[in-house]
Structure 1
Amino acid sequence: MISTSQQAPLTFLNNTLFYHDLPLLRETAASPIVFIGRGDADVAMYQGNFELSDTLAAKLPLTLTDHRVTEDDIQLTFSFQGDAYLELTCFLDAADRLVIKPTLLKDGWNRFWFRLTADKDEHVYGCGEQLSHLDLRGRHFPLWTSEPGVGRNKHTLTTFQADQTHSGGDYYTTNYPAPTFISTQMYYCHVASYDYADFDFQNDDYHELQFWGLPLSLTFDTAPTFPELITKLTSLVGRTTGLPDWTNNGLILGVQGGTDRVSEITDQLKENDVALAGIWAQDWEGIRMTSFGKRLYWDWRADDNLYPNLTTSIKQWQDQGIAFLGYINPYIANDTQLFADVKDLGYFAKTQTGDIYLVDFGEFLCGVVDFTNPDAFDWYKDLIKQRLISTGMKGWMADFGEYLPTDVVLYDHSDPMVMHNKWPVLWAQCNYDAVKEAGLTDQIMYFMRAGGTGSQKYAPVLWAGDQSVNWSLDDGLAATIPAALSAGLTGNSISHSDIGGYTSLYGNIRSRELFMRWAEMAAFTPLMRTHEGNRPDQNFQVYDDYDASVHLARMTQVFKALTPYRKIIAAQAVSEGLPMQRPLFMHYPDDAGTYDIQYEYLLGRDLLVAPVYRPGKQTWSTYLPEDNWIHLWTGDRFTGGDTVEVSAPLGQIPVFYRADSEFAALFEKIGAEY
């Protein structure tokens, strides 16, 4: 047994490292703290979907053989058969966070496993945006940015069909993985690594964190409450810059087809009293048709046929109080003029033979802008300023970032296996820098789906990606709820989703009811934005249905009416890092019933929202935490700590507010008027 040592508040006793009395590392005869190994990865990419496997040549359990204590740190040495292989240096940084830095003492090892002590009743949350499971306990989560895949559930027909073309997902596939989690043991763990990782929370006694490369560090902090814990986490990983005021004006209407069509539909919805904050025309740069559906041209200049004199049109819409938003991603189609203009400037990632690496996006090929080349980064940043910001756009979808192949040659010769998970962050930073240099951070809103550590700062707003246009738990309306909650617990405070979903494949067609239920939920999220989907002509569109547009109008008016409350919680996101959508346990930690709930959420502190995510429902069961609640639409009062059933016809999503909320008068007024 190794003797007792300490560097307050670090304590080492009986082969256990304690931090603020929390046992984090513990070696037992049955469970080492560290393993090292040697592996060879095989990675195949199919249009952003990845299949990864690893051939392990060796895996060694290391034994704690020595420790040293200085005024500055505690050093733990781990060995195998008498030879020291790895050292952990444990110290407190200036913010009293525990930092553990591993050092490899023998070369030739590229696989690492670290075990953290666990409690069998513990809950774990985070790891980026997780769409299937909010509580990560009992499962393992590979952390690799990719297309989430269609269906995301190996037991569904949709996923089976998608798997035939390598495009089906699983419960863990996500655009935004992150090596960061929080525990109901009241600590967070953040790992400084972009390597492929797999966080395994299945064992009662430990969490095992696997990496295909040695992490720079593991950082921990503790707090007495969940809000304080998230504030501490975001002081480390970064925080959102918030939302522009214009987003509170109503719906951001996703519509395509050119100036005339956009204007016609906009005027029609305005006549039906739909409150509009913006127009999002993703086809501003033109379209290309593929077997998947309507895709975009990816030349990043206004299409003069669809949108002649776009700058003038944008000014006219802005004069009506309507912002204009566009679309961009970090790839350039190889059949465009832009590609021809810059292909000889060294701005694209290369193949092993020095040619431009072309990525298959499904019936067209694209070059990857190489953000490790400072000249390419600055060129693309300036392109955003010149072709989007200078036209008057107030925002855009900054799409993709997950498609970096692992066999590219990058300008800085960095390992693409590491850069793959970092690529979305570099893409986010490119957008962030463009907006900041233009001096428009408080006016422009771009939104992203892909992310990694650093996206908390550089991607102020997330959207939940390309949900299917159906009611599935793993890939439909319901999936956007744990997506927003898990992202929020990783430090991304503002999220939203495509109203109605996006992906229409394998017989999935958006219904009127699905769109209306999605719109109801969106009224109680940070943003409202519609999407026509990948196959607009085959799916329900709200502008084709008068009654549905009236329903949408009512939801946008509710959204506008909530502005005073929403602005307060948006300000908390900026100053404290608190998510706007919060899991119930964040404010009710003593209510054991809240920890497993992933399809309800708190909007801020005072509103509880329980979206209806099944078709044909007229009533809905909702768990209310231990508090006094008032039903928004009827004024009925409830005492929490139990499940209640309320009427939930279309237009009356179950929403409750805290009886003692300082915004109770506002909520009562909204319930009475709408």
Structure 2
Amino acid sequence: MRLVTGFYAILSLVVLPVFQLEAAEAVTAGVEEHYQSHRVTENQLWLTTDRGEVSLTFYNNATVEVFYQPTGRIQLPSLILGNKPQPVQVTLKQAADSLTLESPALTVQIQKSPLSLRFYHQGQLLTEQVGGVAQGAEPIDFTFSLDTNETLFGAGQRVLGMDRRGHKLPLYNKAHYGYSTESSQMYFSLAGIMSSKNYMLLFDNGATGEIDLGHTANDILRFSAQGGRSAYVVVAGNTTPELLSHYISASGKPPLPARWTLGNYASRFGYRTEAEARAVVQKFRELALPLDAIVLDLYWFGPDIQGHMGNLAWDRKAFPDPDGMLADFAADGVNTILITEPFILTSSTRWQEAVDAGALALGPDGKPKTFDFYFGNTGLLDVFSPKATAWFWPINRQLLQQGVAGIWGDLGEPEVHPADALHDVPGIGLLPADAVHNAYGHRWAELVHNGFKADFPERRPFIMMRAGNLGSQRFGMVPWTGDVDRSWGGLKPQVELALQMGLFGFGWIHSDLGGFAGGETFDPELYIRWLQYGVFQPVFRPHAQEHIAPEPVFHSTEVIETLRPWLELRYRLLPYNYTLAYQHSQTGIPLMRPLFFLDEQNRALRDEANSYLWGDAFLVAPVTAPGATRWPVNVPNGIWFDFFNGERLVGGNVIERPVTLDTIPVLVKAGSFIPMTSVIQRTADYRSEALTLHYYADSSVISAQGEMYEDDGVTPDALAKGQYSLLRFAAESQLAESATQPDRVAQLQITMQQEGGDYQGKPTQRAITLVLHNQRAQPKNIRVDGRFIPVVAQPQRFARGSELAYYDKASKQLKIKVSKLQGDAVWHIQY
């Protein structure tokens, strides 16, 4: 046996079983393909068949790309795979009828004739691909086996329930204006699935297509497309977070956005003048409601809805001093986001400029394709063409140089995409719309992202878009769930939509809080419930049609004061939330997480679409029906605490929780660390010199860990540059040796360790108030770094002191305040 770096070839013959097709497989439309020979390059196995070539490339131990290259087929570049393959030790075993390609985590068994591929993880069959793909201009068609009890997540934005199995779904990004409780086709489709068997099957294709998830035949998954790339990716893992990590390492990590992304946004359709935009910011400041961003919809470039799209320049009548406005907003800690669209109307001021630059998609006659849609007669920016990039990006660059902080790309499905529109794809030539439709938003995001990186390397991009493709997360895409109906029906599916997208790396998915479309009168209860949910979604952005104000500052005092503590909570949670953003950027694990992350074999948790985890500490159950006084919460096994009143709950079933208009069910898992800070009016004021660190203690949790990530909130690649700090928290409990009280904690030790380097705003020392929840008695002795900490009886004295503890018997909370902590620290509490 000869071992070399990369792939290994084992030359001795190994006898392997010949694969037998099941009856259900025989009815598929897979094209028979037959092995002829193979070769091994540095990091690939190449199969030569009677229809062309097939390559198998391991991108890491648990991720393999299978790329069919039939003779005569035009192949597009990969959309999914953004990183180069990592070094992987792979063995190749040969037999007369088969080949076996094996990494440390994933095995591919290849039947030679007819060609068939089976994928195994730790000896378990994941799925089998049967047949090859068609040649020439015929549609791409892949067929795979499914197990009887397999649950399938994926296919992108749909309102169908968590398990997508049994559906046949179009793969065509398409607007669904005013959707509510049902939708089989929406803005952001994804050509891939995640299985309850812990594998991902992802089709590297951006063309118009269809995915059949056991609809036509229960044990068959079938993908077809009008063109594009004839490739797919298989990812294996032991857990869902592990799957995501493997996938992200091959596809590309979602970059960490600026800290202000987690703040509150003023947004509507839309602010018509500079005076109106300034007034809304001033209103937030007058009412002392935090604000970090303002979003300007299409009125920034035109006085009305129709006829101006494509101007891409300030309407100076409505916005006479945009430079001054942007500067004033920035000085006030308010970041300005501008909408852009890919449609250049023939009536716009830039139409001829775009034509002359060759920036537009062409028609069959070789001239810019024009067509009518709601906003006017238009052409479509050809985001695939280098000529379009050369024309379009400088317009964006000028706006960003002027003081704009973020780009909002709207209508990027694209919303109207004539089938005879032709796109100029480098190295290939002109391709019809259906061959690249689902890649359009992806390429647009890439264009903006690359421009940011080239011209503004000191800034973290903000790119909000409503359509893309698998892999778009690596461009920092911040997607949202589109033009949802402003109704209880519109609120109900938002958790499902976010969880499904988050499982594929789109952790910044969010909804227009309050609902966008329609609504004849203001429903304060619906509005409050939606914004309460928004505190625990990645982006807090109320947005709606202007006939009902989406901003809380324009509603009654009762509505404002009901929402004030929620908005303030959003800001108090910045240390926790920013840590979730950091974790997402490193591993792909989303900020909103399905409950089955805690028990992956629990079918009820796999199907749960109403409750979710916010990070690893919180369980959130939004109230999505009017008049509720109690609300069901599917609580996983373990001990949980009500975030608001501290009540201890035993999980393992559905629990009805009392609610008022001021509350929704928010639970905290025992053993959780939650760092919090004081209320601020903008994230630019964020400081962590004073922290409140909550720990939810329970005798059922002997040891626990947590962390808090921090940097300056703006520097790109702060982690790689060492300009960050990571506080690691740990708890260790010792139970009392008592027959009468076997679950009583005798000692609790909390440790904090710090790693990282220096950055702007890093505290030289910290004052930390440690809040221990679920404390049944006042401790006998408290020491911090060996220093004795006295327990005082009066909360007023505790508030004034700096090295004190206070036990609140009513809330069962022990608060320990220490100052001037530098780096590591140890709290030791004896009961």
Quick check: 1:470–1:508 contact (8 Å CA) kept in 2? no
Aligned to 1:120: 148
CA 1:185–1:264 in structure 2 vs 1: closer, same or farther (change >3 Å)?
same
**SS of residue matched to 1:518:** helix
1:397 corresponds to: 408
CA 1:205/1:477 → structure 2, altered by over 3 Å: closer, same or farther?
A: same
| 1:358-395 Cα distance to aligned partner (Å, 9 max, x none) | 24331512221122321221221111011x20221111
Q: 1:69: Cα distance to partner?
A: 7.1
The structural deviation recorded for 1:289 is 4.3
Q: 1:264 maps to what in 2?
A: 279
Change (3 A) 1:75 1:645: same
Report the counterpart of residue 172 of structure 2 in structure 1: 144
Question: What corresponds to 1:241 in structure 2?
Answer: 255
Equivalent runs, 1:248-647 vs 2, <5 Å: 248-254=262-268, 256-283=271-298, 285-287=300-302, 289=304, 297-386=309-398, 388-403=399-414, 404-411=417-424, 412-439=429-456, 442-472=459-489, 476-504=490-518, 510-533=522-545, 536-537=546-547, 542=552, 543-647=554-658
Counterpart of 1:280, as a letter, is V
Instruction: Give the C-alpha shift of residue 585 in structure 1.
Output: 1.0
Change (3 A) 1:220 1:509: farther
- Aligned mates of 2:201, 2:334 — CA distance in 1: 42
**Highest CA radius of gyration, 1 or 2?**
2
> 1 CA distance for matches of 2:208 and 2:592?
28
Question: Deviation at 1:503?
Answer: 1.4
- What letter is aligned with 1:35? A
Work out whether residues 308 and 348 of structure 2, in 8 Å CA contact, stay in contact via their aligned partners in 1: no
Alpha-carbon offset, residue 68 of structure 1: 6.4
Secondary structure of 1:114's counterpart equals strand
CA pair 545-632 structure 1, distance change in 2 beyond 3 A: same
Q: Secondary structure at the match of 1:198?
A: strand
Q: CA deviation at 1:258?
A: 1.7
CA contact (8 A) 2:543 2:550 kept: no
Distance in structure 2 (CA, Å) of the matches to 1:7 and 1:562: 55
State the alpha-carbon separation in 1 of the partners of residues 394 and 469 from structure 2: 23
Partner SS for 1:589: coil
From 238, 241, 261, the counterpart of 1:224 = 238
CA contact (8 A) 1:449 1:465 kept: yes
* Aligned 8 A contact 2:25 2:145 in 1: no
Whole-angstrom distance in 1 between the partners of 2:366 and 2:535:
50
The TM-score normalised by the length of structure 2 is: 0.67
| Superposition deviation, residue 450 in structure 1 | 0.7
Q: Within 2, Cα distance between the matches of 1:551 and 1:259?
A: 30
Shifted more, 65-74 versus 597-606: the winner is: 65-74
Are the equivalent residues in 2 in contact too, given 1:349–1:368 (CA < 8 A)? yes
Measured in 1, the distance between the counterparts of 2:407 and 2:137 equals 43
- Offset at 1:622? 0.8
| C-alpha separation in 2, matches of 1:305 and 1:566 | 40
CA gap of 1:540–1:370, structure 2 versus 1, over 3 A, is closer
The offset of 1:297, in angstroms, is 4.4
Q: Answer whether contact 1:27 1:64 (CA < 8 A) is retained.
A: no
The CA deviation at 1:308 is 1.5
Q: Deviations over 1:438-478 (max 9, x none)?
A: 32574442211111133111243111111111111xxx122
Q: State the one-letter code of the partner of 1:185.
A: K
Among the aligned pairs, what percent are the same residue? 22
Q: Which has the higher contact order (CA 8 A, sep 6+)?
A: 1
User: Structure 2: which 5+ residue stretches go unaligned?
Assistant: 1-8, 72-133, 676-692, 697-770, 774-810, 814-831
C-alpha deviation, 1:247, in angstroms: 2.8
TM-score calculated relative to the size of structure 1: 0.82
Residue 365 and residue 214 in structure 1: after superposition, are their counterparts in 2 closer, same or farther (change >3 A)? closer
Q: Structure 1 residues 30, 341: CA separation in 2 closer, same or farther (over 3 Å shift)?
A: closer
- Pick the structure with more helix per residue: 1
Q: Which runs of 5+ in 1 are unaligned?
A: 1-5, 17-25, 37-61, 78-83, 154-169
**CA 1:201 to 1:510, structure 2 compared with 1: closer, same or farther past 3 Å?**
farther
Q: CA RMSD in A?
A: 3.1
Separation in 2, partners of 1:552, 1:526: 18
Q: Deviations over 1:284-335 (max 9, x none)?
A: 5244546xxx997441111212221111111112222222222111222221
Between the aligned partners of 2:391 and 2:522, the Cα distance in structure 1 is: 40
Alignment of 1:59-78 (within 5 A): 62=31, 73=45
Q: Deviations over 1:588-630 (max 9, x none)?
A: 2143321100121111111111111112222211101112111
Q: Decide whether aligned partners of structure 1 residues 335 and 295 sit closer, same or farther in structure 2, where only a CA change above 3 A counts.
A: closer
**For residues 7 and 146 of structure 1, do their structure 2 counterparts lie closer, same or farther at Cα, with a shift above 3 Å needed?**
farther
Name the structure 1 match of 2:79: none
Query: In the alignment, residue 29 of structure 1 is paired with which amino acid?
Result: A
Return the offset for 1:578: 1.2
Contact 1:349/1:357, CA 8 A, preserved across alignment: yes
Q: 1:381 to 1:226 in 2, by over 3 A?
A: same
After TM superposition, give the deviation of residue 12 of structure 1 in Å.
9.8
